[in-house]
Structure 1
Amino acid sequence: MRPSLPDWAIWNSDPGRPAWTVGIEEEVMLLDPDSWSLAQRIDSLLPELSPRLAGSVSAETHACTLELATGVHPSVRSAAAELYSLRVALAGELRPLGLQPAVAGTHPLALGHEVEVSGGARYQLLHEGLRVLARREPTFALHVHVGVPDPHLATRAVDRLRAHLPLILALSANSPFWAGRDTGMASVRTPLFQAFPRAGVPRRCGSYETYVERLDVLLRAGAFPEPTFVWSDVRLQPRFGTVEVRVADAQTSVAEVAAIAAVIQALVRIEATEELADEALVEAHEVIEENRFLAARDGMAARLVDPATDERVPAAEQFSALLEACADHAGALDSRVELEVAAVLARRSGAEHQRQLAHNYGMEGVLPELGRAFLDSTSLVAHVAALAAARS
């Protein structure tokens, strides 16, 4: 008889760690600062990094991508502060190597034939399994981990967070361009990444045991080697003891990262301990998937389906109500300022900002601006006013 839980599913319940801690991972593009094309250099870059960065930088599927990861933090603000310091250190070490980092959901001009797969064993295995899908144009995402004390609360949070994924996506939309053209999408990264298997909105589980059994049958059969080959928009991470929300586009500035992370942290806390999402929407998997597409297409201008009324409601209106519901939790989590940034970001997304840059400078001029914004040092408080002025 199999044990009640396989080793991979044993929840990391560190009694010394407070609940609702935050960790942030962002996928960063490596650029040639002369041509602003993607630089396929991650394999040669990693050995050159200082010890300070070595533990926070890792390869990703594509050789033009790296992941920056913070440690575990008690607040979004401290996680964002570490992320900014990592960006500063990374930019400083890349400069003499002839590389420039930048962040957005897609590279506006990249073409698939230019892409190489990273040399690491994981990514070669992924390439073997996904074949042409692993070689298409890269996409860049933001992943936020929130610590949850036990797997049952975490499963409850994931089940209910599914209903909020379209609004998180709409807030984060930062990828209007692909292969040199305006796609008409706010987040073209979303449908591009959907080509991967085991991606998108997960099914409701109801219990941690159900989640484990659904995944473990695939692992026992050898369909894929380990649980992190599931790339759903939100997933449980037993080895870290976290809920990981993966639906967001990568964000150009750290202040925007902090805003989205604050919304996610508050929502995980709410849905683990209370009931914010309407049960009709939590149950309506097809509606959540449709809303996810509408959010990817239209961002905050989307009109999302409400299954309780059989009507479509403006995403901006829903998000305003969501922020109001998050306010008390944000106060307890010391992230009210970050929610103010989220309210400003909701009025004009990264996708709209990129389109304005393309209008002003041409599509080729978007990338230098993204590169400059990588080290935007505007404080969160000042960012509320600055974003409001720039995006009004």
Structure 2
Amino acid sequence: MLLSKGLEIEIYTGTPQGRIVGLSDQIVKQLDGFVREPDSRNVEYTTPPCCSYESLLCAVLQPRLQLRDYLKTLGDYTLIPGSTLSLGDASRFYRSDPNNPYHAYIENTYGTDVVTASVHINIGISDLDLLFRACRLVRLEAPLILALSASSPFLDGKVTGSHSRRWQVFPKTPAHVPLFRSHRHFIDWTNEQLELGTMQNVRHLWSAVRPNGDRRPYSLNRLELRISDLVIHPLQLLSIVAFLEARIQQLINQPHLDPLKSSQLSAARLLELTDENEQLAAQHSLDATLTHWRTGESISAADWINEIYDEVYPMAKKSGFACFLSPLKKILREGNQAQQWLAAYQQGETLPDIIQGAIAAAADHDYELSQYLCEPAALVA
């Protein structure tokens, strides 16, 4: 049985030339399902939870097409790929809601380091023991998702030296987040952080993975993975979701995959290597040399992903979603968005040309893909 899945997708708006323009005030007033981010230059929409990958594809694409059409009514505006302000301006914060005190806190505390675009992947898990087991496993392997999704090598018109500049500078908060042993541990820890002021509210837990629900920290029903950069290609995005779901399904069948049970390393060392792996994946993505949580041995991100892929593919095929998992291999073969952009830059293309080409390609792809929404068999053939 497939798990429920929902996505929170943040995306920049701007011109076909790559200038990012704040339009979220107008968007949220006119379109249902879109919400503001603290900075007006990006906007977020959320897909409803669904088990079917065909339904999830529609839920990703249809609001985006609606947004694209609406932006045309405002002028020559479009959606801009990437997870950072690739061509600028990172020197100024454009508040979407000047009267919101939480937004004021974010601007004053973090500045434009948080003005990024990303995808948060939510996987429904109602069993609390399983939820925290999954949170532990996925947190240790979250750097692999970052490696697949990296799409932020540029900032302010410059090459940053990182494949995911977004995650390298994003202010993970609080600074130390444990591997939660249980729901009770999570409740007690969260309340302690609120008392200490290291979290402003229950939403102010900005780690790669967190348990989520309607009344945090008490009522929980899903795992939220927050490390992913924006993946603009819908089928590639779904392949990453399928990879995550398949790994959790494997954990359901093989509880010994819980890192607190099967790793040779201490919990403290697991946290250390995970932090190190996140930074290495942010820097080098699929080319990063990481430390495997089970053995402490070095392994490339691409090899680790391939290793897990081979383990979970038979189960995904049996469950009927292997066709949505398989585009992951194309990312491994051809590189993620950041690697492709950097390769183009090394071949002499300018940053504006690269971003402008990506903007046009993403629009063309969205509209082409939309023609098949009612024909899922043709889509995956």
1:304 positional shift = 1.1
Q: Aligned with 2:323: secondary structure?
A: helix
Say which of 143, 146, 168 aligns to 2:120: 143
Partner of 2:18: 36
Alpha-carbon separation, structure 1, partners of 2:361 and 2:174: 33
Structure 1 position 63 matched with structure 2 position 40: yes
Q: Aligned with 2:82: secondary structure?
A: coil
Structure 1 position 371 matched with structure 2 position 355: no
Partner of 2:339: 352
Alpha-carbon separation, structure 1, partners of 2:377 and 2:298: 34
Partner of 1:47: 29
Alpha-carbon separation, structure 2, partners of 1:381 and 1:360: 40
Question: Identity over the aligned pairs, expressed in percent?
Answer: 22
Point out the more displaced range, 180-189 or 323-332: 323-332
Structure 1 position 212 matched with structure 2 position 193: no
Say which of 295, 299, 309 aligns to 2:285: 299
Alpha-carbon separation, structure 2, partners of 1:218 and 1:309: 32
Unaligned runs of 5+ in 2: 215-219
Q: Partner letter of residue 312 of structure 1?
A: S
1:329 positional shift = 3.5
Partner of 1:104: 82
- What whole-Å deviation, never above 9, does each CA across 1:31-76 have from its counterpart, x for those lacking one? 123x421112212332133xxxx1x211112110101211111123
- What whole-Å deviation, never above 9, does each CA across 1:132-187 have from its counterpart, x for those lacking one? 51334721111111101222211111012122111111111111111211122111
- What whole-Å deviation, never above 9, does each CA across 1:210-248 have from its counterpart, x for those lacking one? 011100222355654431111111111121611011111
Taking a change above 3 Å as real, the CA distance of residues 221 and 303 of structure 1, as seen in their structure-2 partners, is closer
Structure 1 position 233 matched with structure 2 position 208: yes
Taking a change above 3 Å as real, the CA distance of residues 282 and 234 of structure 1, as seen in their structure-2 partners, is farther
Alpha-carbon separation, structure 2, partners of 1:280 and 1:162: 17
**Any conservation in 2 of the 1:26–1:143 contact (CA below 8 Å)?**
yes
Taking a change above 3 Å as real, the CA distance of residues 113 and 107 of structure 1, as seen in their structure-2 partners, is closer
Say which of 320, 336, 341 aligns to 1:334: 320
Alpha-carbon separation, structure 1, partners of 2:222 and 2:159: 36
1:357 positional shift = 4.1
1:104 positional shift = 1.5
**Any conservation in 2 of the 1:176–1:188 contact (CA below 8 Å)?**
yes
Q: Partner letter of residue 134 of structure 1?
A: G
Q: Aligned with 1:91: secondary structure?
A: helix
Q: TM-score, with normalisation over the residues of structure 2?
A: 0.85
Point out the more displaced range, 142-151 or 352-361: 352-361
Unaligned runs of 5+ in 1: 1-17, 386-392
Point out the more displaced range, 263-272 or 155-164: 263-272
Alpha-carbon separation, structure 2, partners of 1:304 and 1:127: 37
Alpha-carbon separation, structure 2, partners of 1:77 and 1:282: 41
Runs in 1 of length 4+ with deviation above 6 angstroms? 379-385
**Number of residue pairs the alignment of both structures matches:** 359
Alpha-carbon separation, structure 2, partners of 1:297 and 1:32: 28
Alpha-carbon separation, structure 1, partners of 2:44 and 2:318: 30
Taking a change above 3 Å as real, the CA distance of residues 333 and 120 of structure 1, as seen in their structure-2 partners, is farther
Taking a change above 3 Å as real, the CA distance of residues 226 and 308 of structure 1, as seen in their structure-2 partners, is closer
Partner of 2:65: 88
Structure 1 position 20 matched with structure 2 position 6: no
Point out the more displaced range, 259-268 or 204-213: 259-268
Partner of 2:91: 113
Q: Aligned with 1:58: secondary structure?
A: strand
Structure 1 position 266 matched with structure 2 position 250: no
Taking a change above 3 Å as real, the CA distance of residues 29 and 218 of structure 1, as seen in their structure-2 partners, is same
Q: Partner letter of residue 39 of structure 1?
A: V
Say which of 173, 181, 197 aligns to 1:197: 173
**Any conservation in 1 of the 2:83–2:117 contact (CA below 8 Å)?**
yes
Q: Partner letter of residue 78 of structure 2?
A: Q
Say which of 275, 279, 283 aligns to 2:263: 279
Q: Aligned with 1:247: secondary structure?
A: coil
- What whole-Å deviation, never above 9, does each CA across 1:333-381 have from its counterpart, x for those lacking one? 4321122101111221111122244446410112222322333134799
